[in-house]
Each structure stands twice: as C-alpha cells, then as structure tokens.
C-alpha cells in the first residue's frame, strides 16, 4: 500500500469532481490524497435542490455542479483549497483524517477544532466544511479550506430561497473566516506540505506523487457537466408561483395545480417568475 499525492493544476470543477469519482469507483489498494481548486463554481450536495440553495439572480457568473457526497452547498473560488482522501473503507476513517488535518493546522498556528457538524472552526467561525461518500469497498472524505476566498461573494451567491417545499437537504450557513485572516503568512503550498507530511508520518507508507492525467475519464466529466446530473437529480419538490402550484420531479414540471402534464417541461424558476 502507498500514499499517493495528487495536486491538480486544473481549476475546472467538473474535471476535479470526475477525478474524485474515478478513484472512488476503482478497486484501489492505495490511499490517495488529492488537492485541488475550482474557479467560480457552486457545488451542491448529492441530495440538494439547486434552485433553493443558489441565488441565480446574483450579478456573478459561476458554474453549478453536484457532487457525489451529501451535505450542503459550497462556493468555490481560487482562494478555496480542497482536499480529498480516497481510501479502502476499512483502512481509514473520518476521525483519523480530521485528526491529521487539525494537527497540521494547529502546527501552523491556526487554532482550530471540529464541531458537531464536522466543520473545522476557529473560535466561532467556520473555515472548512466536509462531506463523505462510501462506494463498495472505498471511502471518500473531502473538505474545503478557505484560505483567501471572497467571503462577500460567497454570502451573496449562497442565499437560500424559502419558497420551495422540498425534502431535499437544506444548507445550514455559518459565519465564515479565511485562514489568512488568522495567519497572513499561510498559503496553499504550506498547508499541502504540512497535511501531506503528517499523513505520511502517521500512516508510515511509501509515498509517491501522481499526475491527474492518469485519472481522466471523459464519460465522468460529461456526467458532471450534464443537466441530468446537476438539475435532474434534484429530489422532487413543489412551489407556488403566482396562482399556480407546480410539482417538479427529476428537474421537470410534471403537474400544475394537480393537473398532470402530458409532456413534462424543464423547470426554469426565472422564466416562471418573469411570467407572473
């Protein structure tokens, strides 16, 4: 067994999410520690409703993606470093991974702890959220690390719309802080090195660095870019717009005012509200 370090230079959200899923799907015998960033993207949890979680009226331009793990919505920019650990599920667990990441941060002078929601906190401020996925014999633990993100932008884009009647997972926003506000000398290279070194010492495994080109899967990239995955996987919900009540399943309007449609219509919240 080896500890493999992968650092992605690609900032395309769909490519990096596809790499995670590629590794999770494989019959792996090693541990993979994968660091990556994404440019201007909102990533929702597997069981979330994008229309409820995202402020599509924002002035900002961004991509929308759905990940394979649960949890809440996260905004990604180049100030947000993401770490992903993919391992055989009986070899590592989240307690081990949190312990390693927290030790690295505290060694860097970032006084931090894990709260009951599995967020990493500095005092009363969140700088890291995490999510998890198990598939067959493999385990994925991934998390964000806000180093120097645009916090005002995050707050503007991640505004929950309460109009939706849904059983989808609802994000629970927290007050957030950048790690650079805690220690201005910190950068992503330092954090990567500290986390990797502690992983290596703790696991006592032979290490190697791998290029992301070994894990490119065009089918998975297309899946993560697709409307069917991002919007079509939304749990069914209903919404009242004007005098009409819409029932939506798999991203399609299936009935209006309890009258079933012969031909389903793709749900577009902005178009419907414009017509009111």
pLDDT digits (tens, 9 = 90+) for 235-245: 999 999 888 99
pLDDT greater than 90 at residue 162 = no
Same domain, 255 and 197: no
Same domain, 105 and 124: yes
Same domain, 182 and 241: no
Domains in the chain, number: 2
Same domain, 210 and 132: yes
Residue-range definition of the domain harbouring residue 253: 236-274
Same domain, 266 and 193: no
Question: Closest Cα to residue 67, out of 17, 9, 106, 125?
Answer: 17
Sequence-ordered list of residues with C-beta below 8 angstroms from that of 218, at least 6 positions apart, any chain: none
Question: Closest Cα to residue 89, out of 50, 49, 48, 132?
Answer: 132
pLDDT bracket for residue 230 (50, 70, 90): very high
Average of per-residue pLDDT across 41-61: 95
The pLDDT > 70 percentage for the chain reads: 99
pLDDT greater than 60 at residue 133 = yes
Same domain, 182 and 217: yes
Same domain, 194 and 253: no
Same domain, 222 and 259: no
Average of per-residue pLDDT across 59-70: 96
Q: How far apart are the first and last CA of the chain?
A: 60
Average of per-residue pLDDT across 56-67: 95
Residue 271 and residue 252 in contact, taking contact as beta carbons nearer than 8 Å = no
Same domain, 12 and 53: yes
At residue 273, the pLDDT reads 67
Same domain, 193 and 256: no
Q: Mean pLDDT of all residues in the chain? A: 93
pLDDT greater than 60 at residue 276 = no
At residue 183, the pLDDT reads 94
pLDDT greater than 50 at residue 168 = yes
Same domain, 108 and 47: yes
pLDDT greater than 80 at residue 275 = no
pLDDT tens digits for 171-204? Answer: 877 899 999 999 999 999 999 999 999 999 999 9
pTM of the predicted model as reported, rounded to 2 decimal places: 0.94
**Of 93-107, 156-170, 256-270, the least confident:** 156-170
The pLDDT > 90 percentage for the chain reads: 84
CA distance linking residue 221 with residue 79, whole number of Å: 23
At residue 274, the pLDDT reads 53
pLDDT greater than 90 at residue 272 = no
Average of per-residue pLDDT across 21-32: 94
pLDDT bracket for residue 136 (50, 70, 90): confident
Same domain, 98 and 36: yes
Q: What order of strands is seen across the sheet that includes strand 252-256?
A: 164-166, 237-241, 244-249, 252-256, 259-266
Report CA-CA distances (Å) from 172 to 28, 147, 159, 251: 34, 21, 11, 23
Q: Provide the CATH number for the domain around residue 68.
A: 3.30.930.10
């Amino acid at each position: 067994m080896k500890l493999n370090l992968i650092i992605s230079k690609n900032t395309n959200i769909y490519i990096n999410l596809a790499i995670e899923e590629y590794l999770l799907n494989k019959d792996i015998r090693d541990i993979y520690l994968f660091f990556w960033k994404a440019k201007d993207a909102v990533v929702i949890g597997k069981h979330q409703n994008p229309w409820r979680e995202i402020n599509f009226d924002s002035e900002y331009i961004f991509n929308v993606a759905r990940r394979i793990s649960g949890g809440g919505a996260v905004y990604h920019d180049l100030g947000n470093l993401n770490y992903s650990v993919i391992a055989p599920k009986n070899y590592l667990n989240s307690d081990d991974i949190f312990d390693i990441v927290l030790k690295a941060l505290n060694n860097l002078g970032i006084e931090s702890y894990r709260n009951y929601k599995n967020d990493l906190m500095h005092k009363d401020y969140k700088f890291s959220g995490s999510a998890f996925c198990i598939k067959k014999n493999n385990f994925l633990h991934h998390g964000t690390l806000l180093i120097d993100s645009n916090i005002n932008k995050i707050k503007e884009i991640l505004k929950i719309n309460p109009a939706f009647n849904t059983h989808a997972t609802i994000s629970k926003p927290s007050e957030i802080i950048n790690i650079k506000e805690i220690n201005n000398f910190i950068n992503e290279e330092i954090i990567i090195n500290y986390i990797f070194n502690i992983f290596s010492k703790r696991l006592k495994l032979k290490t190697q660095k791998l290029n992301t080109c070994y894990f490119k899967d065009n089918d998975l990239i297309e899946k993560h870019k697709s409307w069917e995955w991002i919007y079509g996987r939304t749990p069914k919900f209903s919404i009242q717009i004007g005098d009409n009540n819409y029932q939506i399943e798999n991203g399609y309007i299936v009935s209006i005012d309890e009258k079933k449609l012969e031909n389903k219509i793709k749900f577009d919240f902005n178009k419907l509200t414009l017509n009111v």
